[in-house]
Structure 1
Amino acid sequence: MFKQISLLSLLVVGLNADNINMQNTGTITNYGTVNNIQNNDSEKAKFDSKIVKLAQSVGSNPNSDDRDTFIGVLEGAKNANQYNISAKEKSEKCIEHSVGLNFLKINVKLARHECEKIFLN
């Protein structure tokens, strides 16, 4: 029980789990801040909608086995989107960052799929 409480506390503190502040699109509950620095409005809208959809998956499936992976991918996308690099490179950075969150149980295959969905599709 203590271990579960400690991990939950770490998630709440580490990810600011109260809400998502989506620049340009309003607020979504259940995640940390995601800043959108895409170059044009079309890219911004696509990125925002993909992040919102993934954040809603996290919020609507609190007991899902994939919840940690989705949280990791959201954090990875937030990190990768800070760089002015190609979509392919952002996807790889997203995967690297997601897998590097060792306090979460990450399904690498699913993380790769979700990061590619965000940045390449």
Structure 2
Amino acid sequence: MWYTFVRSRGLIIRCTPFFTVHAYVPVSESFGFADELRRWTSGAASALLVRNHWEALPEDPFFVPKTQEEIEEFGDGSSVLPNTARKLIDAVRRRKVLSVEEKVVQHGTKQRTLARKV
């Protein structure tokens, strides 16, 4: 059961001996949460999802390291962990069939065509 919360970026607030768990789960991660919880617990647990509050993410979705200090601290951007705020924005834009800024080819050396000329 705990894995289901962690995988959904949930924050467990309080828990009782009878396994009544109060937790915050982001709305974007809550789709299919009840089914997954039932599957992991073989039907022994059920979920009651209620909207509680809004919370802003501490990340800037449009952050790109520009100054020398930022590049030293965060790297050139190629090895930075995925920005959660950016991933959420891109997911919403894809769902609404809007354009998404992403590279088609991440690395030029990995791009291959089907035909190889010898």
Q: TM-score scaled by structure 2? A: 0.22
Q: TM-score scaled by structure 1? A: 0.22
Larger radius of gyration: 2
Query: Which protein has the bigger helix share?
Result: 1
Q: Greater relative contact order (Cα 8 A, min sep 6): structure 1 or 2?
A: 1
